[in-house]
């Protein structure tokens, strides 16, 4: 099964590129940029990757990204992940990035976009990998700040495939960002949002009704609301589920407790993703393998999951058809 899952062409729809920063690269970039880290070694940094909840993870996440200063740094960050993902059979990656977290550190949006764009072109050229870029707003920051960032990104609107909403969910409902997402809609940008991870099912409903999102990132708490489950099924809304992330952040205690089987049994459209692979115990292959070990799923279920991701990806019709053909050949 490992060989089958490794060879399965996988599309990743829920990845935070800053969350792919492995300790080894963190130390390399810290030395390059003369940034002092609060860890004496790579091993000590890796040992710190132990969280009690989403907020404790975010504290470390923002500390780690302090080493990202130049376009070269963002390029190296993305290419480091693209190469690892390619080796695991990933053929398409959609990466969230958090401009507010970088602007707050004095890193201009131009720097971030230059580095990520260079890496995207290199990944397509050298790895045959397609990519998409999702500019995410930090929901624990003011909506007015998110609107300013969206407007400041005008030179890059054509380079964005979607906008998203992430960071600390509790107490930060989607409806806080209605005007920002309305503006994105007028710009022709697709919208996605984290909802129903730590927040209640109502946040999923708000993301759909108030923000007009086409996908829900996480969404696992939808099962608490049968009417919402029925709606998600009827409307074919895709959930970008991140199983290892859910375990590490204590959304569930063990993989065996994960609601993924119930989501599939309810007829929902589900995909598997890594979220922040450097911090949560592995990339796409590890998440697929963890599901196999916990649920004993057949090859057919994994093909279904991979196919759903391809269908929901921000790609051209031509690329989507090519990925579907690749998936059919592997199955």
Task: Give the distance, in angstroms, between the CA of residue 219 and the centroid of all CA atoms in the same chain.
Answer: 13
By C-alpha distance, which of 217, 216, 215, 277 is closest to 245?
A: 277
CA 156, 161, 164 angle in degrees (round to 5)? 95
Rg of the chain, C-alpha, whole Å = 19
Catalytic residue among 22, 94, 197, 198: 197
From the number of C-beta atoms within 10 Å of its C-beta (0-12, 13-18, 19+), residue 234 rates as exposed
**197: annotated active-site residue:** yes
- Report helix angle 143-152 to 178-186, nearest 10: 20
DSSP state of 166: E
Distances (CA, A) of 194 to 48, 62, 312: 25, 18, 16
The helix (run of H) or strand (run of E) holding residue 85 is helix 71-87
Q: Are 190 and 214 in contact (CB under 8 A)?
A: yes
- Look at residue 125 and give its three-state secondary structure: helix
CA 186, 216, 250 angle in degrees (round to 5)? 140
Catalogue the active-site residues: 197
């Amino acid at each position: 099964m490992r060989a089958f899952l490794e060879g399965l062409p996988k599309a990743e729809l829920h990845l935070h590129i800053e969350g792919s920063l492995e300790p080894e690269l963190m130390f390399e970039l810290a030395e390059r940029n003369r940034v002092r880290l609060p860890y004496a070694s790579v091993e000590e940094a890796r040992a710190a990757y132990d969280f009690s909840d989403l907020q404790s993870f975010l504290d470390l996440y923002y500390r780690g990204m302090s080493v990202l200063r130049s376009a070269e740094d963002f390029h190296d960050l993305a290419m480091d992940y693209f190469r690892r993902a390619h080796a695991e059979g990933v053929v398409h990656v959609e990466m969230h990035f958090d401009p507010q977290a970088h602007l707050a550190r004095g890193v201009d949006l131009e720097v971030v976009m230059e580095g990520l764009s260079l890496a995207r072109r290199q990944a397509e050229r050298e790895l045959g990998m397609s990519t998409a870029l999702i500019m995410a707003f930090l929901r624990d920051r003011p909506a007015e700040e998110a609107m300013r960032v969206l407007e400041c990104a005008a030179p890059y609107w054509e380079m964005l495939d979607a906008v998203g909403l992430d960071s600390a969910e509790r107490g930060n409902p989607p409806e806080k960002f209605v005007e920002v997402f309305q503006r994105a809609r007028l710009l022709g940008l697709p919208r996605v949002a984290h909802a129903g991870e730590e927040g209640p099912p109502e946040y999923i409903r708000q993301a759909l009704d108030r923000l007009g999102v086409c996908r829900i990132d996480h969404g696992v708490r939808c099962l608490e609301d049968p009417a919402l489950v029925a709606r998600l099924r009827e409307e074919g809304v895709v959930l970008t589920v991140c199983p290892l992330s859910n375990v590490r952040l204590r959304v569930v205690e063990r993989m065996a407790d994960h609601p993924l089987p119930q989501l599939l049994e309810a007829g929902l459209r589900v995909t598997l993703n890594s979220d922040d692979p450097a911090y949560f115990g592995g990339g796409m292959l590890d998440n697929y393998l963890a599901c196999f070990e916990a649920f004993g799923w057949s090859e057919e279920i994994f093909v279904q999951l991979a196919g759903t991701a391809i269908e929901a990806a921000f790609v051209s019709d031509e690329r989507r058809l090519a990925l579907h053909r690749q998936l059919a050949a592997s199955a």
